[in-house]
Structure 1
Amino acid sequence: MFVSQFDGSDPVAAVRARCRLDEEYVRDRIGGLISNGLADSDTALSELGRSSLRVVLAGGVFDIIHPGHIHTLRAARNLGDVLVVVVATSGTAKKMKKRMPLHSQDQRRDLVGALSTVDLCLVGEEGDIFRTVERVRPEVIALGYDQIHQEKFITDGCRRIGLDVKVARLQSPVPEISSSRIEQEYGDSIHGI
């Protein structure tokens, strides 16, 4: 239901597609959420329902998806109930990587969103990461092992928008793998030269 409130999808259809459950079973479970005050309707969580979820937010460019991303996203998913991943806009990606990304922001969103560990994938907003943070309202922000963001910058920014967020710096069992290293090693072939 959390994801459906963002993307407008039918929560019954989304759960059935993801978990292969019987429609009647899913509707009964949603009915239970409504009767317990955790949902306002069959498509919207109540404030109580939303507060009972631990939402984890992770972000990155994700231009070349590699094993380090998979490990990091699995670790982020294990920190809560819902994993929301924010893909950097093409403009932000260019600023960070000093080059245009290989894939458009929509392609990167679709690729990351197709990963089974990801519940929702969004394209970030240009210029201010905290607009997306405010929209998602996570309890945890997971930073990858190679992300340059400092935890204090994130916690201070969240406090400014009225959120008490925990920041988790994730480790990777394969820290030697990064998009930048892959590009350095295979740059010409990646760029079609």
Structure 2
Amino acid sequence: MKKVMIFGTFDIFHIGHLKFIKQAKELGDKLIVVISRDNNVRKIKDKKPVHNEQHRKEILNSIKYIDKAILGNKDDVYKVIKKNKPDIIALGYDQSHFVDKLDSKLKEFNLNTKVVRLEPYQEDKFKSSKIRNK
């Protein structure tokens, strides 16, 4: 069974998120979605999420393409990778946080995880920051 893992905030859920999730699910048998913790969202994006982490988790767990939605680790974003040992990590087209150390962490964990970058879906229209600023 091939496990795929994706990461995101998924705060203002929109069709771009759904297309990202569907694209990731097509890469394997089991899709694990790691949700950014509220404190990490504040640190990275310098703003509080509209929906708290528990609400975002509940929304994501209701989506049929997702086998498991989990909250990320508060202190170490890489711990969830070590624990779940995905075969594939699918990154969003604009995902940059924590990516710089990803390859070295996979080596450190002795994982043969493949890292792929997924295609955007109408990124000029469906991006949370653009929707939020309307």
Could you state the TM-score of these two structures normalised by the residue count of structure 2? 0.93
Query: Which has the larger strand fraction?
Result: 2
- Say which of 109, 115, 130 aligns to 1:181: 130
Q: What is the identity percentage for the equivalent residue pairs of Structure 1 and Structure 2?
A: 30
Q: 1:88 aligned to 2:15?
A: no
CA RMSD of aligned residues (A): 1.3
Question: Aligned AA for 1:60?
Answer: G
- Say which of 107, 113, 116 aligns to 2:61: 113
In 1, distance between residues paired with 2:122 and 2:98?
Answer: 21
**Unpaired stretches in structure 1, ≥5 consecutive residues:** 1-52, 186-193
Cα displacement string for residues 12-45 of structure 1 (whole angstroms, at most 9, x for unaligned residues): xxxxxxxxxxxxxxxxxxxxxxxxxxxxxxxxxx
Query: Which has the larger helix fraction?
Result: 1
**Quick check: 165-174 or 143-152, which moved more?**
143-152
**Unpaired stretches in structure 2, ≥5 consecutive residues:** none
In 2, distance between residues paired with 1:74 and 1:129?
Answer: 23
After TM superposition, the structure 1 = structure 2 runs for residues 31-42 of structure 1, keeping only pairs within 5 Å, are: none
Shift of 1:154: 1.4
In 2, distance between residues paired with 1:181 and 1:151?
Answer: 23
Aligned equivalent of 1:132: 80
Number of residue pairs the alignment of both structures matches: 133
After TM superposition, the structure 1 = structure 2 runs for residues 13-162 of structure 1, keeping only pairs within 5 Å, are: 53-149=1-97, 153-162=101-110
